[in-house]
Structure 1
Amino acid sequence: MPELFIVLHREIPGFDSQVNGRMLSEREPLLTRLAKTIDVVPLMEFFSQDPEEGAGFLEDLGVDPSEVELPEETWFSSLQGLQTVQTLRDHLLAHPATMPDTDRIVEELEDWIRVLNKASQEKIPWHLAVDF
């Protein structure tokens, strides 16, 4: 099962930015619909990756990366990501029957809040990535 995770533009010394994103990945279609309903940017709109990583992924799939134009890596405001994640978390806490496994999703969102809050304080951009 793919897992979503946070990539910071630079490391924060002494700070662990690793997060769990298995449930976020599993419930991503539901979270996208919820984000649109509550008027925040869906998580997958923060997706980006290094073109070299994308080329490696294509090679693993048997696709010649030279035949595909891969976009440049994009960085997003950590504050905007924080707003999305907090709003999703707050909505799920107020309406736990919104989707299955709400408690596990909220737990992951709280880890993401911790990292994006610190990144926002440090003015470090981020993007979401997927680990297959």
Structure 2
Amino acid sequence: MAASMYIVVEGEDPGFDIFVNGRALARNEDAVEKLALRLGVKPLIEFFSADENSMSLLIEEGAGNRELMQKLPPPQWYSARDGLVTVEALIAALENEPQQLGSEGEQVLSELLEYRRVLRKTEQHELRWHLAVSWR
């Protein structure tokens, strides 16, 4: 099963494309988290929140527990600016040295650029966001 870390924007339809691949970020989450901590920014995984829709998808994909659905806290939403602080710091650190994350450094950088595009739009529309995970 391949995991993907993707962006969820608050509301039904934010009015712009929020698609991000997120597979390389999911595969390299531990290394990306360590890099964020070295840079003194909040790791991406700390922006994770499970909402009912995300959990329903996980259960459909065989990666969740139906009983947990009853105990889910309300989703947490974060400001786009807070996410951009992390994403922009990671991009700056990887632009000249993507190999510090190994062979997938270029792909992680590419996905971070997608994250930045979506978070900038999210900020422009004054919306909030969180990360979700999908397994396929």
Would you say same fold, with TM above 0.5?
yes
Q: Residue 104 and residue 57 in structure 1: after superposition, are their counterparts in 2 closer, same or farther (change >3 A)?
A: closer
Q: How high is the sequence identity, in percent, across the aligned residues?
A: 34
Give the structure 1 partner of residue 111 of structure 2: 108
Q: Does 1:128 align with 2:131?
A: yes
Q: Residue 106 and residue 57 in structure 1: after superposition, are their counterparts in 2 closer, same or farther (change >3 A)?
A: closer
Q: CA RMSD in A?
A: 2.2
Give the structure 2 partner of residue 46 of structure 1: 47
Structure 1 unaligned blocks of 5 or more: none
Whole-angstrom CA distance in 2 between matches of 1:7 and 1:74: 11
The offset of 1:63, in angstroms, is: 4.0
Whole-angstrom CA distance in 2 between matches of 1:24 and 1:50: 20
Structure 2 unaligned blocks of 5 or more: none
Q: How many residues align?
A: 131
Give the structure 2 partner of residue 9 of structure 1: 10
Q: How does 1:50-129 map to 2 (within 5 A)?
A: 50-51=51-52, 53-54=54-55, 57=58, 60=62, 63-65=65-67, 69-100=71-102, 101-129=104-132
CA contact (8 A) 1:7 1:127 kept: yes
The offset of 1:61, in angstroms, is: 5.2
Q: TM-score, normalised by structure 1?
A: 0.87
CA contact (8 A) 1:6 1:19 kept: yes
**AA of the residue aligned to 1:74:** Q
Bigger shift: residues 49-58 or 23-32: 49-58
Q: TM-score, normalised by structure 2?
A: 0.85
